Amino acid sequence: MPRAIVTGNGNLLACINQHNLIEDFYFPYVGMENQIAFEHWHRLGVHVDHRFSWLSEPSWTHEIDYLHETLVTDSVAKNEELLLTIKFNDFVYPSEDFLIRKLSIKNNADYDRELKVYFNQDFHLYGDKMQDTAFYEPEHRAMVHYRKRRYFWISGMQGSISGVDSFTTGKSEYNHLEGTWKDAEDGHLQEHPIEQGSVDSTVEFRMNLKANQEKQLYVWICAGKNLSEVKHLHDYILSEKPEKLMNNTINYWISWVNKEAQREFLVEPELMKHYKQSLLIIRTQIDNRGAIIAANDSDIMKFNKDTYSYMWPRDGAWVSLALDRAGYGEITKRFFAFCADSMTEDGYLLHKYNPDESVGSSWHSWYKDGEMQLPIQEDETAIVTYALWNHWLYYKDIEFIQDMYEPLIRAAGNFMMHFIDEETGLPLPTYDLWEQERGVFTYTTACVYAGLEAAYRLSAILGHFNHSHRYKEAAERIKQAMLTHLYDAEEDRFLKRIEIDPHTRAVTKDYGLDASMHAVWMMGVLPAEDDMVVKTNRALFEKLSVKEGPIGGLTRNEHDHYQRVHGHYGDVQGNPWIITTLWHAQWLMAIAKNREDLKEAEKYLHWAIERANSAGIMPEQVNPFNGDPLSVAPLTWSHATFVDSVLKYDERMKELS
């Protein structure tokens, strides 16, 4: 299942599932080194009245949410059979690398009871489970897991007393051993002090609760690169006190998400609530060194034994466009610097990257039909340049633009200017936005036009007039070639793509409809109200809308089989996506003539909210039959598109007033 809620600080990211259990734990990069690993999680259980129960069991009900305008969770687990309620406030501290879980545990029985709470640590350090050590540290009554340069310190506090009450370490996933969590189920741990190899650990906290009494338990995981670092974090928590640290975190995120408080909004409170929560969720998916990660949800490993925990330059650029519009340019500057560092010598960006700037996995081939081809999607290079131009429009930070000129603006501008078919004037074939097909796409061509326009304007600002002139000419040639070859007079709309045989030069037209064709107006090739755009977008809406059933929304393209579920799709082309549905809403905003016209667009903003879970987490796509989240959640691009859509909606509300 997609992740239910997330919290992080740009170095440490904790992803929590629908049972209030930690299922992904990324450190020291957001999106790289999941220290728990696919299909594993840190178990949490209780022993009371001679009965034991893990929170993943059906007898528990769970409610998942955040405290208002924060990244501090506000979730509840309740067990009617055990007469227990546990409220969770989980948070990663903004400036230090530790996660604190505050459990407010209430005894709903009318008699006194002793309760034992068990936390199982199922670490897979560096992403696997070998060569690890787990040991009990007696001075602080803490559990430590380590391997090489990764250390994790587990401890807690009740009242003024810190440390665990009991512990054990042991083998797991080895010789048919399940792990020390099984040892907890009789309410007594063996207190084995150290184990190495394929290990896990479990710690116990004891609590005496009077009838209908509630008490607080704080449990934390400190993350570092050596024992001294995690000990220091433990001491810091004890000196500052967990409750104070939680209040500091609450105040920080409220200030962060309201940093543009002077901006007046006309949109309704419900949209503003989800706008702010989306900004916060986006921040959890961004590494402090600049990588904007697509999604951190290891369940997608079921699909292809790979994840979305990469920095796609395209996704990052779309997210940057929204963040710059929202006023978070300090984040996007790190993204652009990341892209400048990652640019190849020839001036293009590759498929995707890891958060440490190494090249990510790819399915784009360097070779086809006996010939070499570039394994790229040219829109990824072009739209980063376009996003940088938009960054300049908001912040006018000319020294930063100067730093970006040689490694990014000029490099990308020269590549786009020369990576062109001499006969048609269109970009040479590359992979499409959705990474499924190769050819010359309307979307890619529109992005290249916008990228060259951006390179022209940025070069002119910096006084590089010769390059500026050449980029401007190249952009105009691309635009004319696009109108000549990618607009079909018979269909009276744009084509999805064309394919040109490299030997015979024969042109094959792809008449499929694809939501990415919105790029014609989004990238500024033509105005949103241009007749060619209107006819194209009406065709998109007619074909890609999910008209059957109550779910609605728009799919990516015709006959989309990615992440299909069981069911009769009929005329439904695929699963509706948050992104593609909101692109249609943005077009409706752009062509609106009065406030009344905006109501149709507003419906799609509420549609996106309805597709989110109780904590506001938005997936990539949803089940067209019941609306359940599909693929990954949260998808950073989904939240960014929602943020961008709310801002554009607000702007149009003001313009049409």
Average pLDDT over residues 352-377: 94
pLDDT of residue 333: 98
The whole-number average pLDDT for the span 343-358 is 98
Domain check: are 497 and 582 in the same one? no
Task: Assess whether pLDDT exceeds 80 at residue 273.
Answer: yes
Domain of 202, CATH number, reads: 2.70.98.10
In which band, very low, low, confident or very high, does the pLDDT at 1 lie, cut at 50, 70 and 90?
Answer: low
Convert the pLDDT of each residue in 504-531 to its tens digit: 999 999 999 999 999 999 999 999 999 9
Closest CA to 279 of 317, 332, 333, 328: 328
Please tell me whether residues 521 and 554 are part of one structural domain: no
pLDDT for 26-51, tens place per residue?
999 999 999 998 889 999 999 999 99
pLDDT reading at 611 higher than 80: yes
Give the type of residue at 326. A
Residues 54 and 201 in one domain: yes
Mean pLDDT of all residues in 455-462:
98
158 and 125 in a single domain? The answer is yes
What CATH number is attached to the domain comprising 478? Answer: 1.50.10.10
Last residue within a domain, chosen from 478, 495, 528? 528
When pLDDT is averaged across residues 578-584 and rounded to a whole number, the result is 98
Q: If you average pLDDT over residues 545-562, what whole number do you get?
A: 96
* 364 and 401 together in one domain: yes
The residue segments making up the domain with residue 461 are 327-528
pLDDT digits (tens, 9 = 90+) for 128-145: 999 999 999 999 999 999
- In this prediction, residue 502 has a pLDDT band, given cuts at 50, 70 and 90, of confident
Residues 167-182 have a mean pLDDT of: 94
Regarding whether 640 and 590 lie in a shared domain, the answer is yes
pLDDT of residue 2: 77
Write down which residue in 469, 503, 528 finishes a domain: 528
Is 537 contained in some domain? Answer: no
Residues 107 and 225 in one domain: yes
pLDDT of 177 higher than 70: yes
Per the structure, the count of domains in the chain is 3
Say how far apart CA 447 and CA 428 lie, in whole Å: 13
Residues 46, 170 within the same domain? yes
Mean pLDDT to the nearest integer, 274-290: 98
The model's pLDDT over 293-349, given as tens digits with 9 standing for 90+, comes to 999 988 887 766 789 999 999 999 999 999 999 999 999 999 999 999 999 999 999
pLDDT at 654 over 90: yes
What pLDDT, on the 0 to 100 scale, is given for residue 17? Answer: 97
pTM score, whole prediction: 0.97
In a domain, 315, yes or no: no
CB 220 within 8 A of CB 155: yes
pLDDT of residue 304: 67
SS3 category, 472 = helix
- The verdict on residue 157 lying in a domain is yes
Given pLDDT bands bounded at 50, 70 and 90, which one contains residue 85?
very high
Longest dimension (CA), the chain: 86
Choose the final residue of a domain: 213, 233, 256. 256
In a domain, 14, yes or no: yes
Q: Are residues 235 and 271 in the same domain?
A: no
Span 547-564, average pLDDT: 95
Confidence at 107, pLDDT banded by 50, 70, 90:
very high
- 284 part of a folded domain: yes
Whether residues 12 and 81 fall in one domain: yes
Same domain? For 194 and 244 the reply is: yes
Q: Could you read off the pLDDT of 475-495 as tens digits, one per residue?
A: 999 999 999 999 999 999 999
Residue 557 has pLDDT above 90, yes or no: yes
Domain match, 511 and 484 both: yes
Task: Look at residue 299 and tell me if it is in a domain.
Answer: yes
Report in angstroms the alpha-carbon separations of 642 from 7, 458, 532, 615.
19, 28, 26, 15
Query: pLDDT by residue (tens digit) across 144-160?
Result: 999 999 999 999 999 99
Is residue 262 situated within a structural domain? no
The chain-wide mean pLDDT, for the chain, equals 96
Q: Which region among 195-209, 290-304, 586-600 has the lowest average model confidence (pLDDT)?
A: 290-304
Query: What pLDDT sits at residue 408?
Result: 98
Nearest to 411 by CA among 340, 489, 499, 500: 340
The set of residues, in sequence order, having a beta carbon less than 8 Å from that of 11 and lying 6+ positions away, is 27, 28, 29, 30, 97, 223, 287, 288
Q: Is residue 536 part of a domain?
A: no
- Quote the percentage of the chain above a pLDDT of 90: 95
Please give the Cα distance from 379 to 517 (Å, whole number): 13
Beta bridge partners of 497: 441, 510
- Work out the percent of the chain whose per-residue pLDDT is above 70: 99
